[in-house]
Amino acid sequence: MSVVYSFFSGWVDRSGASIGGRLPGYLMALMGVVAMMVLAASPAHADVPNAVPPKGEHQGKHVEQPIEFPHDIHANVNKINCMYCHTYARRSKVAGIPPTSKCMGCHMVIATDKPRIKKLTEYWEKREPPRWKKVHDVPDFVHFTHEKHLKRFVFDNQGMEVEKVSEVCAFCHGEVKKMTVAEKVKPLNMGFCARCHEANKGPFDCWKCHK
């Protein structure tokens, strides 16, 4: 039986049965204040030094992909660096979708019996790329480069390890390593960008981003 504390019903076990009295109100308020202070002092992305992660949540529509690509198995279980597949992120505007040959580089031998890999092999043998759909899209009048953001937050960032690049990616893409196919969980609108640019002292000229 695991015991958790609920703000509303005091100490409860997982089944919801109360096993202790509710704490007095002033203590709850104090705990709330302490919790807020702790949250403020230690941002969710404590692994990225010299950076204030952007704030904002968004519930994007689920985008159906030709193959339900499991980001969680690749990035979380097998700890593959984001930039291994999205290799263009460090040197161009777009992060890029890896070519099927990159997938097949591993999946010629790894997990060939899984249904998703069989589907991938089918594409490979047909010499046809899977038509991946874009999830994180910004309007046409917005100029965004992955290259410069990675330079600022990863490569030119004192004390930042390249292995932890997924924490930087998560600023705008959310915890992709907990997802299968990518979902849009950040708003990616002007307020979202502008607040982050303000907090991290990014450029603030209209024509830096608008085209």
Partner 1 sequence: MSLNNILTNWSRYRKGAEEGGFHEYEHQWGMVVDLNKCIGCNACSVACYAENNLPVVGEARYAKSQFMSWMRIERYWDEPDLEPYQASPTANVDVWIETNPPAGKTALKPSMPGSYAEGLLEPGGQGFEERVGVFGTKGEMQDFGASFLPMMCQQCHAATCEPVCPVAATYHTPDGLNAQVYNRCIGSRYCSNNCPYRLRYFNFWSYYEDAWPEPLHMQLNPDLAVRDKGVMEKCTFCVQRIRVAKDEAKMENRKVRDGEFATACVQTCPTGALVFGDLQDPESRVSKLWRFHQVEQGKTKQNKQNKELRGYRILEGLNTDPSVMYLERVREV
4 three-state secondary structure: strand
Among 147, 164, 175, 200, which residue sits at the site for partner 1 (rule: CB under 8 A)? 147
Helix ranges restricted to H, 42-88: 71, 82-85
| Smallest distance, partner 1 to C-beta of residue 125, A | 30
Counting contacts by CB under 8 A, is residue 139 touching partner 1? yes
129 three-state secondary structure: coil
Gap between the terminal Cα atoms of the chain: 58
Size of the site for partner 1 (CB under 8 A): 18
142 three-state secondary structure: strand
Give dist(CA 39, CA 34) in Å, integer: 9
Evaluated on CA atoms 170, 31, 199, 57, the torsion sign reads: positive
Counting contacts by CB under 8 A, is residue 198 touching partner 1? yes
Give dist(CA 166, CA 169) in Å, integer: 5
Counting contacts by CB under 8 A, is residue 205 touching partner 1? yes
Counting contacts by CB under 8 A, is residue 137 touching partner 1? no
Using the contact rule CB under 8 A, the part of the chain among 75-83, 125-133, 146-154, 160-168 near partner 1 is 146-154
Counting contacts by CB under 8 A, is residue 76 touching partner 1? no
Counting contacts by CB under 8 A, is residue 159 touching partner 1? no
Dihedral Cα 144, 210, 61, 153, nearest 10 deg: 30
- CB nearer to partner 1: give 58 or 143: 143
Counting contacts by CB under 8 A, is residue 140 touching partner 1? yes
Site for partner 1, rule CB under 8 A? 139-141, 143, 145, 147-148, 151, 190, 194, 198, 204-208, 210-211
